[in-house]
């Protein structure tokens, strides 16, 4: 009975050993078969990792390029804005930019009365000197821009007489004369000597003289040639 038990145990051990050996051999064979695929997978992962690293580097470079471009654009925009602001200021100073705002409208007109004598005819007309004095008074009252019959006055504008015709910016004007003055104060202008004179002349000779406040005074831009005859540095004497 004991011999049979030993024989059975030996058979079990033999079978177990056979199974273990078979499993080991089979595992080695499977591992040998999987090794190329594993190596291929590892290589593929490494390739993809290299691609990802390259893309990360490219993204960082592009971000740096975008940041640099944004900085350059901001700087250029700032410079362009400064240039635009400077041009606007120069245009305003030169009078080439049309303006609109609150101010005064002054109308001057010759008298419709018949002079008592030819010698006194001049007192019933508007002269270039009258217009010059009114313009000066308007500037003295705070005017920032003035136009006479739609012709913008600038620093070099001549107001002259050609016979009985008043010429502004070398253009002959016909009465009545309308002076649009942006920024002029009514009380300051009416207190000027020329305004008080015209107030008297209106009664004495019938000259047309009216002063109107307006919230929408329009002064066109100067259309003549703007030239510079002399320039110097700010520190020049």
The pLDDT assigned to 190 comes to 97
- 3-class DSSP state of 11: helix
Together in a domain, 76 and 103: no
Structure tokens belonging to residue 212? 């109107």
**Inside any domain, residue 228:** no
Please report the pLDDT score of residue 155 as a whole number. Answer: 86
Q: CB atoms < 10 A from the CB of 39, how many?
A: 10
What's the total number of domains in the chain? 2
Domain that residue 215 falls in: 99-219
Query: If you search the block for the tokens 């001549």, which residue do you land on?
Result: 158
Question: Tokens 């107001």 map to which residue?
Answer: 159
Q: Which residues pair with 161 in a beta bridge?
A: 166
Residue with token string 């901001």 = 74
Residue 237 included in any domain? no
217 neighbors 103 (Cβ within 8 angstroms): yes
Averages of pLDDT over each 10 residues, the chain, 237 residues: 60 66 63 67 70 66 75 70 54 68 97 94 96 97 96 92 92 96 97 97 97 94 64 45
Q: How far apart are alpha carbons 187 and 35 in whole angstroms?
A: 103
- Residue 230 has φ and ψ, to the nearest 5°, of -155, 140
User: Cα(207)–Cα(113) distance, rounded to whole angstroms?
Assistant: 9
Query: Residue 151 maps to which CATH number?
Result: 3.30.70.1880
> Do the Cβ atoms of 194 and 130 come closer than 8 Å?
yes
Same domain, 172 and 208: yes
d(CA 109, CA 209): 7
* pLDDT score, position 115: 95
Res 152: pLDDT: 96
- Residues 178 and 146: their CA atoms lie apart, in Å, by 10
Residues 86 and 187 in one domain: no
Structure confidence at residue 235 (pLDDT):
47
Task: Specify the pLDDT at position 176.
Answer: 96
- Look up the pTM and report it: 0.60
Q: Are residues 75 and 119 in the same domain?
A: no
Residues 82 and 154 in one domain: no
């Amino acid at each position: 009975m004991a011999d049979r038990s030993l024989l059975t145990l030996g058979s079990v051990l033999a079978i177990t050993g056979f199974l273990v050996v078979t499993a080991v051999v089979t595992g080695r064979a499977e591992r040998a078969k999987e090794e190329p695929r594993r190596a291929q997978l590892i290589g593929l992962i490494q390739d993809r990792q290299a691609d990802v690293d390259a893309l990360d580097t490219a993204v960082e470079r592009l971000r740096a390029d975008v940041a640099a471009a944004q900085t350059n654009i901001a700087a250029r925009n700032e410079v362009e804005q400064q240039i635009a602001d400077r041009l606007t200021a120069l245009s305003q100073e030169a009078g080439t930019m049309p303006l609109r705002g609150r101010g005064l409208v002054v109308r001057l007109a010759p008298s419709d009365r018949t002079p008592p004598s030819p010698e006194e005819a001049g007192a019933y007309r508007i002269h270039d000197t009258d217009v010059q004095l009114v313009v000066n008074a308007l500037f003295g009252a705070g005017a920032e821009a003035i136009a006479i019959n739609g012709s913008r006055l600038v620093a070099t504008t001549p107001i002259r007489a050609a016979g009985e015709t008043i010429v502004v910016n070398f253009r002959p004007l016909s009465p009545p004369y309308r002076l649009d003055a942006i920024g002029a104060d009514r009380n300051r202008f009416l207190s000027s000597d020329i305004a008080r004179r015209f107030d008297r002349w209106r009664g004495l000779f019938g000259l047309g003289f009216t002063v109107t406040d307006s919230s929408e005074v329009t002064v066109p831009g100067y259309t003549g040639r703007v030239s510079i005859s002399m320039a110097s540095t700010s520190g020049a004497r």
